Amino acid sequence: MEWMLMPLRRYAEFSGRSRRKEYWMFTLFIVLVATVCIALMFAGGFSTMMALDAGEVGGSPGPLFWVGMVPFALFMLAIIIPSIAVGVRRFHDRDMSGWWYLGFIVLGAIPYIGILASIASFVIMVLPGTPGSNRFGPDPKDPASAEVFA
């Protein structure tokens, strides 16, 4: 759980490096929270709308839909900055500038090229960081280095 919440403690810290474990555990945390909220939205919203007869039009979601929707929206707004920050730090761990992250986001918006950019970004996030210190700081895997998370 410590690795899942570390990017929230380093909320808007764009300098330094982040291990793969920190990035992927934070991603898992986001997926788990989103799954719970979306499950509540499906249980409360779509069950009401599916119960309508074929001739009826409309229908409003139930209260359980809003119990899932409001926390989901607030959570997604709250993690925008830490998600970008941990992604930039992950690029730093590969000894790449954080501006590459923006480049992949922009390329991701272009049809067909976006698929290739997403695959390339995924591969970069999966690859291990450069061993030892690089221009962005000390190796976060080095236990002898106390200033990594200072």
Domain assignment present for residue 43? The answer is yes
Q: Report the domain count for the chain.
A: 1
Tell whether 89 is covered by a domain.
Answer: yes
Q: How far apart are CA 147 and CA 150, in angstroms?
A: 5
How much of the chain, in percent, has pLDDT values that exceed 90?
Answer: 57
In a domain, 23, yes or no: yes
Of residues 47 and 101, which shows the higher confidence score? 101
Determine the structural domain holding residue 82 and report its residue range.
2-126
In whole angstroms, how far apart are CA 76 and each of 23, 116, 121, 142?
Answer: 17, 25, 21, 32
Residue 136 in any domain: the answer is no
pLDDT tens digits for 99-129? 999 999 999 999 999 999 999 999 999 999 9
pLDDT at 92: 94
